[in-house]
Structure 1
Amino acid sequence: MTRDNGFSRRNVLRSAAALAGVGGLGGVATASDGESLRQIGPADLSDVPTDLEAVPAAAVPETSSGIGPGSMLFITPPGGGEAACTANFVWTDDSGTTYLGAAGHCFLGSSAAGGTELDEGPDLADVEVRVCVDCQFGGLSALVGGLRGEVVELGDVVYARQRTDDGTEVGFDFGLVEVPSSAEGLIDPSMPTWDGPSETGEINAGDTVVQYGNGVVTGETVLTKSRAGSGTGNDDASGSWTAALLAAPGDSGSAVQVGELGAGGLTGVEAAGILTHVGTSGTAGTNLQKAKEMATEAGLSIEVVLAG
């Protein structure tokens, strides 16, 4: 999945409908407060040509360089098709292997739940993932105009899950793709604009939260990729969080931090959530502790790589 020279009218309308809350991929789930939530669909690239034309690095702000939180992902899931999502945190395991996190549903076909074991679910070896380095533009700007930086191929998708067998989605949506050693020099674990994380935590009601994503309309440029909102709660039982935070297709999988206001302004402090769902009153996703627990069930002992 590389650069597109065009974007079909059908896909533009599909993305616009999803942004309005009447489209998107995945089924409807229910939050602990009863609100109906829908998976934030990846931005659909199915009809987009795949020749790449890189944007010179000099044209890209320093704040959006490297591979890490907020990076734009181009994914070919099982069964074909192409999609664009946003990476969350950089992760590492006991062996020193480095991973980039995403939403599990970005890696899986719509009918696949994914499993608790590494050998369950669809053949993840068939999933192809590329990451955009030095990307100033996201959303339709990257899809229609082809305004992308260098695209680097990532390694194997080692884990992906998007719901339980009974259909529960919120709090059970997470995936990991390996960063090959050849790309490790490009890794930047800090979130563009907001910086951090310097520690891990959770999203509670009243917390200021920050995000950096590549959603259609919401994440077209560096200025709109960076967003702040307010946490509305954390549910340890379901492993989920909720917040009043703007999101759209293409933002799916992005990192959410708890922010702190200091002398230098608002900065990210706690790695806390993975954005996967949107509803009428805000967004929701998997909390950090639940993501780690699911990876542990699959035989992976992972930790977020902190910035600085």
Structure 2
Amino acid sequence: MSLSRSQLAAVFAAVTITILTAALLTLTPSRADSAPTWAPADTAEIHPGTMMYTAGAQCTANFVYTDGAGNVYVGYAAHCAGQGEATDTNGCNVESLPLGTPVTFNEGGSVVDEGTQVGSGTLVYSSWLTEKQLGTTDPNTCAYNDLALVKVSAADIGKVNPSIPFWGGPTGIDTDGTAAGDRVYTYGNSSLRAGLAPLSPHTGISLGDDAADGGWSHPLYTVGPGIPGDSGSAFVSADGKAIGVLSTLGLAPLPLSNNIGDLAKELAFAQQHSGISGLQLVNGTEPFSPIL
């Protein structure tokens, strides 16, 4: 059967469209293609527990986060970029460094120097700055919403792994709080310990949630309490789920206790107000193993 000139032209056009469509699908990355490739956990230089320096102040990274475009963020406490005293943790009445402030990731920092810089990033979200912009007045949100996000520079994304050293995980986000006696796990990396890794893993118990604060905080005791420089550290539950972020060292009525902000609430606040589309916690690549 022969084809007319018009029929041949139609066939040629259909074949051309098919080829072009296939080529475009090949060249355009899918959302999965934009997902970061994580460094091996045992060699990653940026991870939960990494030291972070902001204008000379040292804190500890909590968890790793991503967005819908594949950007990578590392969290720490918002008060790490605060301009008040070390004990000022109320974001509604203390000033903060602005978004865009440079932050470095370091290892081996001590009271003598900041150690070795292994990466860099930029402050892109602060619950403190956001609370002021929104005119937040809820006392519990002001007192306990203490989360900031640092966007990892593109050149350093290949150095990141989301696993917590020593423990592994996280395995998700805890959403039902803690009861008195619940076991908790953390990895603090204060420069006061001179970056000595064996001193960084801690375990402890929750003192039970206080209903008066609306679930925004969790008081607890650990073997070796969190100290200045540990601020921002990740805390996980007995099944490896992310409970919260180290915010304060308690002096009264519970001396040497620590207080952590509730990550589920802090992250939900950030997802609603940060302007970062698709913001989410990244689970660790290593299984959680709560053995000390």
TM value normalised by structure 2: 0.67
2:35 alignment partner in structure 1:
none
Question: What's the offset of the Cα at 1:281?
Answer: 4.7
The code of the aligned residue for 2:264 comes to Q
Quick one: which of 258, 270, 275 aligns to 2:246? 275
Within 2, Cα distance between the matches of 1:112 and 1:147?
24
Bigger Rg, which one: 2
Residue pair 2:74, 2:152 contacting (<8 A) in 1 also: yes
- Point out the more displaced range, 231-240 or 193-202: 231-240
Residue pair 1:64, 1:192 contacting (<8 A) in 2 also: no
Within 1, Cα distance between the matches of 2:269 and 2:45?
27
Within 1, Cα distance between the matches of 2:193 and 2:220?
16
Q: SS state of the match for residue 185, structure 1?
A: helix
Cα 1:122–1:206 change in 2 (3 A) is: closer
2:116 alignment partner in structure 1:
149
Quick one: which of 226, 231, 237 aligns to 1:247? 226
Within 1, Cα distance between the matches of 2:66 and 2:100?
23
Residue pair 1:170, 1:240 contacting (<8 A) in 2 also: no
CA deviation map 1:215-273 (0-9, x unaligned): 2545741111111111222357141112112111000011111135xxxxxxxx11111
CA deviation map 1:93-141 (0-9, x unaligned): 23332111010111222289667xxxxx766235220011xx3x45xxx
Quick one: which of 180, 189, 196 aligns to 2:169? 196
Residue pair 2:51, 2:190 contacting (<8 A) in 1 also: no
Residue pair 1:170, 1:284 contacting (<8 A) in 2 also: no
CA deviation map 1:164-208 (0-9, x unaligned): 546655421111111122111111100111111122214432221
1:97 alignment partner in structure 2:
71
Q: Would you say 1:73 and 2:40 are equivalent positions?
A: no
Within 1, Cα distance between the matches of 2:238 and 2:181?
11
Which aligned pairs between 1:251-262 and structure 2 lie closer than 5 A?
251-259=230-238
Cα 1:64–1:114 change in 2 (3 A) is: farther
The code of the aligned residue for 2:171 comes to S
Give the CA RMSD over aligned residues.
2.8
Cα 1:153–1:230 change in 2 (3 A) is: same
Within 2, Cα distance between the matches of 1:149 and 1:122?
26
Which aligned pairs between 1:1-308 and structure 2 lie closer than 5 A?
65-76=44-55, 82-110=56-84, 124-132=98-106, 135=107, 137-138=108-109, 142-144=110-112, 146=113, 148-161=115-128, 165=137, 168=140, 169-201=142-174, 202-215=177-190, 217=192, 220-235=195-210, 237-245=214-222, 246-259=225-238, 269-279=240-250, 280-298=255-273, 299-300=275-276, 301-308=278-285
Question: What's the offset of the Cα at 1:293?
Answer: 2.0
Structure 1 residue ranges without an equivalent (≥5): 1-61, 77-81, 116-120, 261-268
Cα 1:159–1:210 change in 2 (3 A) is: same
TM value normalised by structure 1: 0.64
Percentage identity across paired residues of the two chains: 29
In the alignment of these two chains, the number of paired residues is 222
Residue pair 2:81, 2:97 contacting (<8 A) in 1 also: no
Q: As a proportion of its length, which structure holds more strand?
A: 1
CA deviation map 1:11-48 (0-9, x unaligned): xxxxxxxxxxxxxxxxxxxxxxxxxxxxxxxxxxxxxx
Within 1, Cα distance between the matches of 2:190 and 2:97?
27
Cα 1:161–1:185 change in 2 (3 A) is: same
Residue pair 1:206, 1:230 contacting (<8 A) in 2 also: yes
Cα 1:63–1:217 change in 2 (3 A) is: farther
Question: What's the offset of the Cα at 1:294?
Answer: 1.6
Within 1, Cα distance between the matches of 2:226 and 2:77?
14
